[in-house]
């Protein structure tokens, strides 16, 4: 325990990310080690599978397995790893690239961002994988895209560009997935907006890398709440009934503290 926070036992992750509930399981990834993990209510995280390349985030497939933002593209994963690639759009880029955060929207589309390992400004993109397996580049000129996160009906998307300290809001055409109106939703001056989720009230939660915080924003973009986290680099956030669960990272920290890299939870 630290204050009202509880830390999962065991490993402290280099770049823990991608929290979400899938059925009865709470899952996450450790990006740089290519691992997908399940978080039991009691006990240490369990490795479900491991890839030989970075694993940014996953979403379950209706027929079993996972869609994944992995390596330089979007893949279908089975129990033992990659079954097939839908596309590897960042192969052959001028600078070394990898996929980062990703999520499925309420209509079954999978949205995944890419970034340069050296965070070259504007080198990243946002891709959309439709249910038929078609992959489309929908946005460019991103540096470190995080999220996206969708409202309940999938007509609003939030996307952070962490390096620029900004969260954008987009109107989404539900039938096609086409992005329409774009607006600046919120800016972060201390720290960087990282992983996000939208709760049942339509409020956006964002992990704030470098500031040791999670922030909750109202639908109009006003700051509703700040929750202090005992880890310097929170990376993703999940609202799990009456608890807030947060992943964090040790990468880049010269002297990680006790809870840096931990998965943490607190009652709301």
Residue 1 has pLDDT above 50, yes or no: no
84: alpha, beta or left? (left if phi > 0; alpha if psi -120 to 50): beta
Give me the count of residues in the chain.
268
Q: For tokens 């009865």, what's the residue?
A: 24
175: Cβ–Cβ under 8 A, 6 or more apart, which residues? Answer: none
pLDDT value for 197: 98
Determine whether 194 is an active site residue: yes
CB 266 within 8 A of CB 248: no
6-267 has which CATH code?
Answer: 2.120.10.30
CB 8 within 8 A of CB 2: no
Return the CA Rg of the chain.
17
Cite the annotated binding site for a divalent metal cation by residue number. 17, 146, 194
Q: For tokens 């390096």, what's the residue?
A: 163
Residue 53 banded pLDDT, cuts 50, 70, 90: very high
| pLDDT tens string 221-265 | 999 999 999 999 999 999 987 899 999 999 999 999 999 999 999
Cite the annotated binding site for substrate by residue number. 98, 100, 118
Find the farthest-apart pair of alpha carbons in the chain and give their distance in angstroms, rounded: 48
**Annotated active-site residue in 4, 194, 224, 240:** 194
| pLDDT tens string 84-117 | 999 999 998 889 999 999 999 999 999 999 999 9
Task: Tell me the two tokens of residue 265.
Answer: 């939870």
- Please count the CA atoms within 13 angstroms of the CA of 130 that sit on its side-chain side: 11
> Chain-centre distance of CA 250, in angstroms?
16
32: Cβ–Cβ under 8 A, 6 or more apart, which residues? Answer: 14, 15, 54, 251
> Angle at Cα 200 formed by Cα 7 and Cα 158, nearest 5°?
85
């Amino acid at each position: 325990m630290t204050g009202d926070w509880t830390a999962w036992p065991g490993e402290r992750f280099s770049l823990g990310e991608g929290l979400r509930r899938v059925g009865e399981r709470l899952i996450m990834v450790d990006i740089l080690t290519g691992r997908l993990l399940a978080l039991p209510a009691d006990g240490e995280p369990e490795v479900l599978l491991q890839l030989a390349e970075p694993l940014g985030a996953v979403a379950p497939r209706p027929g079993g397995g996972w869609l994944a933002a992995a390596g330089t593209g979007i893949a279908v994963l089975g129990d033992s790893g990659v079954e097939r690639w839908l596309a590897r759009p960042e192969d052959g880029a001028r600078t070394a690239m990898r996929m980062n955060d990703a999520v499925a929207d309420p209509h079954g589309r999978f949205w995944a961002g890419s970034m340069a390992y050296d965070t070259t400004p504007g080198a990243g993109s946002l891709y959309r994988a439709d249910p038929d397996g078609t992959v489309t580049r929908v946005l460019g000129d991103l540096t470190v895209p995080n999220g996206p996160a969708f409202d309940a009906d999938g007509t609003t998307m939030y996307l952070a560009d962490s390096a620029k300290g900004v969260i954008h809001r987009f109107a989404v055409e539900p039938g096609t997935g086409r992005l329409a109106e774009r607006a600046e939703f919120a800016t972060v001056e201390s720290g960087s907006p990282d992983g996000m989720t939208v709760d049942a009230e339509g409020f956006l939660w964002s992990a704030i890398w470098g500031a040791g915080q999670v922030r909750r924003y109202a639908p109009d973009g006003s700051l509703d709440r700040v929750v202090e986290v005992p880890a310097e680099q929170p990376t993703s956030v999940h609202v799990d009934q009456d608890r807030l669960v947060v992943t964090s990272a040790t990468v880049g920290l010269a002297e990680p503290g006790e809870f840096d890299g931990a998965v943490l939870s607190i009652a709301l």
